[in-house]
Amino acid sequence: MVYDLIVIGGGPAGYLGAERAGQAGLKTLLIEERFLGGVCLNEGCIPSKALLHSAKICDYAKFGEKYGVTAKDVVLDHGMVIARKNKVVKTLVAGIKSQLKASHVEVVEGRAYIVDRSHDGYTVKVNNESFVGKRLLIATGSVPIMPPIPGIEKGLEKGYVLTNREILDIPQVPDSLVIVGGGIIGLEMASYFNSAGSKVTIIEMLDHIGGSIDREISQILLKNYQKKGIEFKLNSKVVEIHDGAVVYECDGKREAVEADKVLMSVGRRPTVEGIGLESIGVEIERGAIKTDDKGKTNRPEVYAAGDVNGRYMLAHTAYREAEVCVNNMLGKKDIVRYHAIPSVIYTNPEVAFVGETEETAREKGIDFEVAKVSMRYSGRYVAENEGGDGICKVLIDRKYRNIIGVHMIGNYSSEIIYGAGLMIEAEMRIKDIKELVFPHPTVSEVIRECIFQFED
């Protein structure tokens, strides 16, 4: 039997793509070697958010005096947090299983290897069984990058070096945790383990944290964290890892910090090896599958979505890319518009952003204007965030007067940002947004406040 579509990988890109294809009537097979739900559900977005929520509750309780609430003996029971996280993951994975079933998707467990292409389609081998599909959706995701630092391999073996996979299942809170890499994942983990009682140090090679986020927001986040007691070693490069210590170089000097555990989070790389891409000649560019904005690769009827294309390694991008792939398979023209994909850092305070930053806009030669207001313009923010120092920043295109970027730091921004994404994607102008009604009192009103700083 020949499938209309074989999906390789059961993460967000894979399972959603398979569901959509199945619902549209394509005879679909999904192959997953580990767990349905992929990184996102099992060792990424969801487990980390479950942990962070517990940390937030703990923080609220501990620092409740500011709001006139005193709680005594506040403890975070890490074991229970992990147990709850596992329950959350189990519930969601079960949901995906039943959703796939309802969409008539067949699921095979095992590692997929693409063998070749015949006139019938593409042959994929799993556990010595062959399957043929007219089309392929490659959604094999990504794995953590492990730079060749002396001591890493031994550390992984012995368990004092961890990746996101192990740390989200760690049974005990380490006394001291060194996080290598100050990107989104590193910061989220720092936030949790700081609240849970670890002495956390982040070592980052760049002079700022948060990767490509707005510089000013990066600064605010850094200060917030330092206040909480997280230590940062910026402009610092890790050169050696030992059981108990991490050695790094800063300004040409070698220094060391104590570490019970070391989390490696210097980025992720697409899973493009060992899946037989070479047998059908799929083009790889800078370690990722090369796709166009329809999700097509250079091979006919071979699509790729999610982290494996190396573009925006985010679950919601994976969802959208998978949908676009399936739409195009069904002959429906659809593209991913990458300029309006929001990103969130679910730390406390939350950071959310979408579109151009001042840096990227400048690089692209866009003529833009910026407006910036303090989160304190929002009544709700002031009422709920004692001493908070968040900001919201909006960028507009000077010529067309439409909104091209929004950057926020302050709680709730994760839930607000999609609205900003919509404004960007719909190319709403300042004067259009001025006509919108924002509920009061909400934190989202800061966007409106920013907008009124601009002339039409």
Binding site for another protein (CB under 8 A): 115-117, 119, 276, 278-281, 300, 333, 335, 337, 397, 400-402, 425-429, 432
Which of ligand FAD, another protein, none has residue 151 at its interface (CB below 5 to 8 Å by kind)? none
CB nearer to another protein: pick between 21 and 433: 433
User: For the residues of 353-416, what is the DSSP string, one character each?
Assistant: EEE--HHHHHHTT--EEEEEEEGGGSHHHHHH-TT---EEEEEEETTT-BEEEEEEESTTHHHH
Site string for ligand FAD, 139-168 (x = CB under 6 A): xxxx---------------------x----
Rounded to whole angstroms, the Cα distance separating 364 from 186 reads: 29
Residue 365 contacts by C-beta under 8 Å, 6 or more apart in sequence? none
Q: What does 139 bind: ligand FAD, another protein, none (CB cut-off 5 to 8 Å by kind)?
A: ligand FAD
Cis bond upstream, residue 441 (ω within 30): yes
Residue with tokens 């959604």: 139
State how far the Cα of 328 lies from the Cα of 325, in Å rounded to an integer. 5
8-state DSSP, 375: G
Give yes or no: 440 in active site. yes
Amino acid letter at 140? T
Q: Which of 54, 191, 224, 271 is in the footprint of ligand FAD by CB under 6 A? A: 271
332: three-class secondary structure by DSSP: coil
Closest contact distance (angstroms) between CB of 111 and another protein is 15
306 near ligand FAD, rule: CB under 6 A: yes
Do 300 and 381 form a contact (C-beta atoms < 8 A)? no
Of 243, 191, 209, 207, the residue nearest 48 (C-alpha):
191
Q: Is the peptide bond before 349 cis (omega within 30 degrees of 0)?
A: yes
Number of residues that bind ligand FAD (CB under 6 A): 36
Please pick, from the candidates 136, 137, 282, 315, the single residue that binds ligand FAD as defined by CB under 6 A.
315
Residues 13-52 that bind ligand FAD (CB under 6 A): 13-14, 31-34, 38-40, 44-45, 48
Judged by DSSP in three states, 196 sits in: helix
CB-based contact 286:297 (threshold 8 Å) = no
To another protein, the closest distance from the beta carbon of 106 in angstroms equals: 25
Decide which of ligand FAD, another protein, none touches 342; Cβ closer than 5 to 8 Å per partner kind.
none
For the record, the structure tokens of 211 come out as 């990767």
Nearer to ligand FAD, 15 or 454 (CB): 15
Residues written for the chain: 456
CB closer to another protein, 143 vs 366:
366
State the CB neighbour count (10 A cutoff) for residue 107. Answer: 18
Residue 111 binds which of ligand FAD, another protein, none (CB < 5-8 A, kind-dependent): ligand FAD
Restricted to residues 102-121, the positions that interact with ligand FAD (CB under 6 A) are: 111-112
Q: Which listed option, another protein, ligand FAD, none, makes contact with residue 425 (CB within 5 to 8 Å by class)?
A: another protein
Which of another protein, ligand FAD, none does residue 409 bind (CB under 5 to 8 Å by kind)? none
Rounded least distance, CB 268 to ligand FAD, Å: 7
Which residue, 340 or 391, has its beta carbon nearer to another protein? 340
Cβ within 8 Å of residue 182, ≥6 positions away: 202, 203, 204, 206, 208, 209, 210, 232, 234
Which one, 253 or 333, has the nearer CB to another protein?
A: 333
8 lines the binding site for ligand FAD (CB under 6 A): yes
Provide the token pair at 200. Answer: 């956390």
In Å, what is the CA distance from 167 to each residue of 164, 288, 315, 329, 356? 5, 26, 20, 39, 33
Which lies closer to another protein via its Cβ, residue 116 or residue 273? 116
Binding site for ligand FAD (CB under 6 A): 8-14, 31-34, 38-40, 44-45, 48, 111-112, 139-142, 164, 185, 271, 275, 306-308, 313-316, 318, 346
Q: Which residues are catalytic?
A: 440
